[in-house]
């Protein structure tokens, strides 16, 4: 019975504590009045791809441990997040570190222990092509020929070739990347173009 009362106290303390932690971390940076405009440089800085404090569910990090309850059930960690200004890119970690946090692990009506759990925190972030876009871009680029065959059947590099009146102009590589990005939704590996 004493164990159940202790469990209820710990749970109540966690419930009352975490809503204030969540709002405190957000509000301490933005102490603006309701009518004040946040200027563009501040908006850009806050929305950049960078490590940010987020709440991570312990069961998301330790999905195999289903027989225990953790208090708190989630922890604050630095993880990459933000905008990359291109829908084909995502914000990912470049450098990580392990951090060990102390939590209470309990098995209902059996045991209660303080344990140390290791989590990965992100220290540096960057924007990279999403894996599915990268694969589609490589598929598209592998089908592009870097040379143009003239009427004399000799291969001439694109950069030294001046197209004649009947030959189409070669497209710059910027267009290839743009086409790869815009044709992502219409790409099907079973079709050859």
Give the residue with greater pLDDT, 43 vs 147.
43
Answer yes or no: do 142 and 121 share one domain: no
Mean pLDDT of 12-18: 51
DSSP 85: S
Answer yes or no: do 137 and 123 share one domain: no
Answer yes or no: do 159 and 146 share one domain: yes
Give the residue with greater pLDDT, 20 vs 78.
78
In a domain, 193, yes or no: no
Answer yes or no: do 53 and 7 share one domain: yes
- Tell me the CB-side half-sphere exposure of residue 4, using CA atoms within 13 A: 2
In a domain, 19, yes or no: yes
Q: Which of 105, 56, 59, 104 is nearest to 81 (CA)?
A: 56
Answer yes or no: do 60 and 148 share one domain: no
pLDDT tens per residue across span 127-183? 999 998 877 777 767 766 555 544 444 444 444 444 444 444 443 433 333 334 444
Answer yes or no: do 84 and 139 share one domain: no
Query: Encoding tokens for residue 169?
Result: 């102009």
Across 32-186, the runs of DSSP E, i.e. the strands, are 50-57, 69-71, 74-81, 89-107, 111-129, 147-149, 155-157
In a domain, 58, yes or no: yes
What is residue 4's three-state secondary structure?
A: helix
In a domain, 191, yes or no: no
Listed residues 129, 150, 172: the one ending a domain? 129
- Expressed as residue numbers, the domain containing 169 is 133-182
What gap in Å lies between CA 38 and CA 41, rounded to an integer? 9
Tell me the CATH number at 53: 2.10.90.10
Tell me the whole-structure pTM to 2 decimals.
0.53
DSSP 72: S
Answer yes or no: do 105 and 141 share one domain: no
In a domain, 12, yes or no: yes
Answer yes or no: do 93 and 24 share one domain: yes
pLDDT tens per residue across span 81-133? 999 999 999 999 999 999 999 999 998 888 899 999 999 999 999 999 999 88
In a domain, 48, yes or no: yes
Listed residues 92, 114, 129: the one ending a domain? 129
């Amino acid at each position: 019975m004493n164990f159940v009362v202790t469990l209820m106290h710990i749970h109540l303390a966690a419930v009352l504590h975490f809503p204030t932690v969540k709002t405190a971390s957000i509000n301490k940076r933005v102490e603006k009045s309701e009518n004040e405009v946040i200027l563009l440089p501040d908006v850009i800085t806050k929305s950049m791809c960078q490590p940010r404090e987020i709440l991570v569910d312990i069961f998301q990090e330790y999905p195999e441990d289903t027989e225990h309850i953790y208090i708190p059930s989630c922890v604050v960690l630095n993880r990459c997040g933000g905008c990359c200004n291109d829908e084909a890119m995502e914000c990912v970690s470049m450098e990580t570190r392990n951090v060990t946090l102390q939590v209470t692990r309990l098995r209902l009506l059996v045991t209660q222990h303080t344990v140390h759990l290791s989590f990965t925190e992100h220290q540096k972030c960057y924007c990279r092509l999403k894996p599915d876009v990268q694969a589609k871009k490589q598929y598209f680029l592998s089908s592009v020929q870097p040379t143009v065959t003239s009427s004399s059947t000799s291969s001439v590099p694109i950069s030294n070739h001046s197209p004649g009146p009947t030959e189409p102009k070669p497209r710059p590589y910027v267009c290839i990347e743009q086409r790869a990005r815009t044709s992502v939704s219409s790409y099907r590996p079973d079709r050859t173009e």
